[in-house]
Amino acid sequence: MRLIPIVGTAVLLAGTALLVNTLRAQDPGQTRQRMIDLGKQHKTAEELYLALKEQAHGGHRLTAGMVPDWSGVWTRARGGITYDPDQKPGAPPTAKLTPEYQAKLMKRIEDADKGIEWDPISTCSPPGHPRWLTEPFLRDFVVTPNQTYLINEMMNDIRRIYTDGRDHIPKEDRYPLYNGDSIGFWDGDKLVIHTNQLHGGIYQRRNPDFTDQAETVEIWQKVKPDLLDVDVWVYDPPALVEPWYTKQAYAKIDDQNKALRIRFWHCGENQNNAVVETEGGGTQFRDFTFDENKPNTTSPTPGVKP
Partner 1 sequence: MKSHSVFGIAMAVAMAVLVALAPAVSAHHSATMFEQTKTVTVEGVVKEFQYTNPHSWLLVDVKDQSGKVTTWGFEAEGPSTLQRAGIRPSEFPVGTKVTMTGKPMKDGTPAAVWVLAVRGDGKRFDPREGFRVK
Give residues in contact with partner 1 (CB under 8 A). Answer: 75, 77-78, 80-81, 89, 112, 115-119, 121-122, 124, 135-138, 153-154, 205, 251, 253-254, 259-263, 265-267, 269-270, 272-273, 275, 282-285, 288, 290-291, 294, 296-306
The sign of the torsion formed by the CA atoms of 231, 260, 262, 202 equals negative
CB of 239 to partner 1, least distance (A): 22
Burial 65-91 (b: 16+ CB within 10 A, else e): eeebebebbbbbeebeebbbbebeeee
CB of 304 to partner 1, least distance (A): 5
Q: Letter for the amino acid at 212?
A: D
φ, ψ dihedrals at 154, nearest 5°: -60, 120
| 57 vs 261 by CB, closer to partner 1 | 261
CB of 248 to partner 1, least distance (A): 13
| 105 vs 138 by CB, closer to partner 1 | 138
| 34 vs 139 by CB, closer to partner 1 | 139
φ, ψ dihedrals at 150, nearest 5°: -105, 115
Query: Is residue 111 helix, strand or coil?
Result: helix
φ, ψ dihedrals at 215, nearest 5°: -135, 150
| 9 vs 272 by CB, closer to partner 1 | 272
CB of 167 to partner 1, least distance (A): 35
Q: DSSP E strands: which ranges in 121-200?
A: 138-143, 147-152, 157-162, 181-187, 190-196
**Measured distance CA(153)–CA(136) in Å, rounded:** 9
How far, in Å, are 2, 11, 16, 54 from residue 5 at the CA level? 6, 10, 16, 16
| 32 vs 34 by CB, closer to partner 1 | 32
| 62 vs 138 by CB, closer to partner 1 | 138
| 50 vs 121 by CB, closer to partner 1 | 121
Q: Please answer whether residues 116 and 126 qualify as being in contact, where contact means their C-beta atoms are separated by less than 8 angstroms.
A: no
Q: Across the strands, what pairs with 249?
A: 229
Q: Letter for the amino acid at 134?
A: T
CB of 296 to partner 1, least distance (A): 5
CB of 201 to partner 1, least distance (A): 15
CB of 153 to partner 1, least distance (A): 6
Q: Cβ–Cβ contacts within 10 Å for residue 27, how many?
A: 10
CB of 259 to partner 1, least distance (A): 7
| 60 vs 286 by CB, closer to partner 1 | 286
